[in-house]
Chains A and B, each alone.
Chain A
């Protein structure tokens, strides 16, 4: 697949001398959903802001659809829709006007049918004539999404779209995202909720301290970095581990009633099969077994912790 956003050695030093991005390289593929994870202050918003034209890059370059975001800003910005992290709204405007304005300011001719369908998709139709200050926080968030979709972007940036959003709206939002993806829209979102990335992203990137620590297909990432744990509940407690079991990465639980075996997801069954036969040889019996796979959250915490 062709990459629709190409970020090359991008750096950003703010006016106060703070280095927010320290050389980011990232290729975003057409039609994918990419989740960017990272702690507060990692540089996620800065990265997005440069791609969207809100912040000037200090070094490196960004191409969107092959165009440079600084030089060919008309082409690149026309392709991009942005839902910002902060809830910023024209308090005294109506939903209809503010969404129509977004379309116009992106250079598109008025299209009331399209605005109508966007508002309906986001369950805002009933509120179309309300002023924004009359809406709840979650509804304002929807209005921001509607504004970002009003000019039919090919690339959508969602900067923490689910902050302060209830379960219903979150589900609705993912339905909209899913529909957009079916229409070929590339979606980049940042989030602190790792389950979210796990649920909907194709690829996951982890940013910390202005650096991209990793970018990986979600399933491959889980396989590669996700550790698995096998837990065997023993029929009879053990006091010590027999020497013959030392090659296996084993620990005995405190009360001696369970054996814990850690292995990497991708190593898989090989070690387990031989472990089990060794146990049999040692005449150690177990009455139950369970496995647990570490989540993206564990991976994330481990990665960010490692760096700190």
Chain B
């Protein structure tokens, strides 16, 4: 294991985040604060509480997940795409590092950033609404697993993308609908039966539901099933990466 190399990549990436602090941290904080003001305080005060949880508190886990997904996919993809784009990737590919070590460095940094931002949002939320965490350990497990899984997913997109448009298409076009329709802002019990069934094909539903359970012990699906789905998605990402590393897909000709 080339630990020095992993450390170098990790800290190099984290330094990039410090440089782009405004964009990386402040903008998601502002966005989510707006959500809390509009949905939590303004509209939320007129919405009845869901299973005994006030609306503002109810949407908090979903909002954290939304930010975590977007951040991890974004950071995970740009981290590897940018050196590919500028050509500086030659250095990593000609260094004595295995692809798994490159992965640990980039994905570790992307997941760390996502987690930091997720926790900042949680702290921000506590200014606007009442938050209680019933199972802190489970919450941490969900956070870390989700961060790692979606940073891996971002890494795959970064390797696959040939231009900035492709790079942005998944985070911009796929993630928001999945999150909005994944029960971030409502319990799927509120949907007609047909849409309830459709929702079960949405992976984000399981994330949000399980994560919310760790806060308020209310869930759309069994929390264990949620955990299983995150694990399944993690396994899928890892297998795709295994294939990419094995074939050198879009990295080595």
Contact = CB atoms under 8 A, between A and B. Distances in A.
A101 B97 CA distance: 13
A108 B98 CA distance: 15
Main secondary structure of the interface of B (DSSP, over half): helix
Interface string A68-98: 0000011111101010101011111000010
Contacts of A15: 253
B87 interface: yes
In the complex, the 9 A-B pairs of residues with the closest C-beta atoms, listed nearest first? A104-B8, A88-B87, A77-B96, A74-B96, A52-B94, A78-B96, A107-B2, A105-B95, A107-B4
Given A84-B90, A88-B87, A104-B7, 4 more contacts: A55-B253, A77-B95, A104-B5, A105-B95
Contacts of A78: 96
Interface string B1-27: 010110111001001100100000000
Contacts, number: 75
B46 interface: no
A91 B16 CA distance: 12
Contacts of B5: 104-107
B93 interface: yes
A102 interface: yes
B92 A105 contact: yes
B252 A89 contact: no
Interface residues of A, number: 33
Interface of B: 2, 4-5, 7-9, 12, 15-16, 19, 83, 86-88, 90-98, 248, 252-253
B94 A82 contact: yes
Given A15-B253, A107-B96, A89 B8 contact: no
B2 A53 contact: no
A80 B2 contact: no
B91 A147 contact: yes
A108 B7 CA distance: 11
17 contacts: A15-B253, A52-B94, A54-B252, A73-B96, A88-B86, A89-B86, A89-B88, A92-B16, A101-B8, A104-B7, A105-B5, A105-B95, A106-B4, A106-B96, A107-B2, A107-B95, A107-B97
B252 A56 contact: yes
A109 B4 contact: yes
Nearest to A73: B96
Contact of B253 (A14, A106, A108): A14
A56 B15 contact: no
Interface string A103-125: 11111110000000000000000
Of A55, A73, A106, the most chain B CB neighbours within 10 A belong to: A106
Contacts of B248: 56
Contacts of B93: 53-54
A195 B248 CA distance: 39
Contacts of A109: 4
Contacts of B95: 77, 105-107
A77 B2 CA distance: 12
Contacts of B252: 53-56
B90 A74 contact: no
B4 A104 contact: yes
B161 to A, nearest CB: 18
A74 B95 CA distance: 8
Contacts of A88: 86-88, 90
Contacts of B253: 14-15, 55-56
A102 B2 CA distance: 13
A255 B190 CA distance: 106
Nearest to A51: B94
Nearest to B248: A56
Contacts of B83: 90
